[in-house]
With several copies, the nearest count.
Chain A
């Protein structure tokens, strides 16, 4: 071995141990529908290391995140693949205290995240390892393939490598150094999809990002879906299945479940709401106010959608997505 990263290795399992875990997943075609609150209660536990499907504000299960906050999960570690609003509210609400980081504390074009930054700079939250985006998805890919690691040519020569959990060896074919990225099996993952059947067979429209891999890597998998469709529909187009049922532990129907994010083909970003969060999260008091208003004082996601503007707002976001309306950038 030429080099060993100093980052904390979260989520790794020996491949034999991973095989034993996966072999216990039930293969029955059983109805896995349940309320999101039940899925979070059963499958998302204090102290867990978890990952969310999607990318940035796109196709991320915000409904599951709000539910975790509502249930006051604590001491969790997040796989911050490309985390923005998700990690920000999870940190601000005290759910997450460790970040395994490819990208976090930023809202892409919208700037940095005041709440997330405050927590890290104040020492309340620790970044336990750094990695790159490609590296993170290859961690899931390694897991999805039942491998201990995958080789890659990224990260070499940098502090990102030094703070990662990757290792460098001499490549026995080329004689040059190559970076081995350890597999990552999160305790659970939540992936938001366009549609799935009651067993969990899921379809995703557009880019799949790293979710085809993450679905196999997760030890427990919650699917939130815009819509539940008959199993017949799945079997009519089996080449459209992105996630097969036997990976899935819970199926939760949550329309608009990634608001204020973008659900490709259905609704675009709610920039007004994101801006509201970025504004309010400048202070701890603002964070509390936001969480009280949108999370703690509501029963569930449907009520939240009413609060952020209901049908009218979602219709505007749909028209925005379909390029039928102008973006009202705040």
Chain B
């Protein structure tokens, strides 16, 4: 069964989410991945929205992180203070992030391209990204794999990854034992080396070559001896995605 890269990314992301854990989701792909996980293997995955919705039963994909779908038949509809506080207290395991730029340590830029005073491109800024990247136990980054996005040095460090390497997060006062967990792109799944905290290739998506990944990465990637191939979406996953979770194709696009 054919699928598009967005569908594959949604499936890979959803498989990372363990049951009976909690996840901060934004709109779009993260939301789709979280609902897919709930339908398939993580019925007790607790979905948390930064604007105050906790544990909703979303009827349709929300358009905004604060819209009424984010607390539809929820366990609790509360405040950003409440949600960010429980995240700071360690209750939120996973967080999804996107970015315009990423560096080898998983630090992210969503603020500016070019100088801050007079940017070439002004992006939205942190939003909740810095909070998610600071407070969740493990963040999962979803972004396009392009050379101009995977850079050695960010134009602006909006959201902390591993900063300058091992121990750096703890040294600046961020919560212990937290940090980026996976980077999922249209080409591959990447993780971070235990020792150096630098980005490491984990699996190539079907049909993607190692060269293609390296060409699209602007820094030196750690390549382990064994690189597996990403499991393609199952029929069940695709059926749910297209038939139930995002039938209008708002996020995953129209069938490829």
Residues of A within 8 A of B (CB): 15-16, 18-23, 25-29, 54-59, 80, 82, 101-106, 108-110, 112, 116-117, 120-121, 123, 127, 130-135, 137-138, 141, 143-147, 152-160, 163, 168, 171, 176-179, 201, 206-210, 212-213, 216, 234-236, 238-239, 241, 244-246, 262, 264-265, 268-269, 271, 321, 323, 327, 329
Contacts and interface: CB of A to CB of B under 8 A. Distances in A.
A121 B122 contact: yes
B65 A157 contact: no
Which of A57, A110, A155, A269 has the most C-beta atoms of chain B within 10 angstroms of its own C-beta? A155
B20 interface: yes
A81 B134 CA distance: 18
Contact of A19 (B21, B51, B82, B90): B90
A208 B79 contact: yes
B130 A137 contact: no
B250 A156 contact: no
B130 A154 contact: yes
Given A159-B111, A209-B51, A238-B76, A141 B81 contact: yes
Contact of B174 (A57, A116, A156): A156
A171 B175 CA distance: 13
Given A28-B44, A160-B159, A209 B66 contact: yes
B77 A241 contact: yes
Interface stretch (B52-60, B212-220, B221-229, B232-240): B52-60
Contacts of B76: 201, 238-239, 241, 244
Interface of B: 19-22, 27-28, 44, 46, 50-57, 59-60, 63-68, 70-71, 73-82, 84-91, 93, 107, 111, 116, 118-131, 134-135, 137, 154, 156-160, 163, 168-177, 248, 250-251
B79 A209 contact: yes
B46 A27 contact: yes
25 contacts: A15-B89, A18-B90, A57-B63, A57-B67, A58-B51, A103-B125, A105-B123, A109-B64, A121-B121, A132-B131, A134-B131, A138-B84, A146-B87, A146-B89, A146-B135, A153-B135, A158-B107, A177-B172, A201-B76, A207-B77, A209-B51, A209-B52, A235-B73, A235-B75, A241-B75
Contacts of A209: 51-52, 66, 79-80
Contacts of A152: 88
Contacts of A145: 85, 88-89
What are the 7 A-B residue pairs with the smallest beta carbon separation, nearest first?
A19-B90, A207-B52, A146-B88, A146-B89, A55-B66, A177-B173, A106-B124
Contacts of A171: 173
Contacts of A153: 88, 134-135, 173-175
B27 A109 contact: yes
Given A209-B51, A235-B74, A245-B75, A19 B89 contact: yes
Contact of B81 (A112, A158, A163, A213): A213
A69 B86 CA distance: 33
B173 A168 contact: yes
Nearest to A206: B77
Contact of A244 (B65, B75, B124, B248): B75
Contacts of A246: 22, 46, 91
Given A57-B64, A244-B76, A323-B60, A121 B120 contact: yes
B130 A158 contact: yes
A154 B135 contact: yes
A138 B250 contact: no
A290 to B, nearest CB: 21
A313 B129 CA distance: 35
A234 B59 CA distance: 17
A272 to B, nearest CB: 13
Given A146-B90, A208-B78, A23 B137 contact: yes
A206 B68 contact: yes
Given A153-B173, A154-B131, A23 B91 contact: yes
Given A146-B85, A216-B86, 5 more contacts: A15-B175, A56-B67, A146-B175, A147-B88, A157-B173
A102 B125 contact: yes
A108 B46 CA distance: 22
A229 to B, nearest CB: 14
A286 B204 CA distance: 45
Given A102-B127, A109-B27, A22 B158 contact: no
Contact of A135 (B67, B131, B168): B131
A186 to B, nearest CB: 14
A296 to B, nearest CB: 27
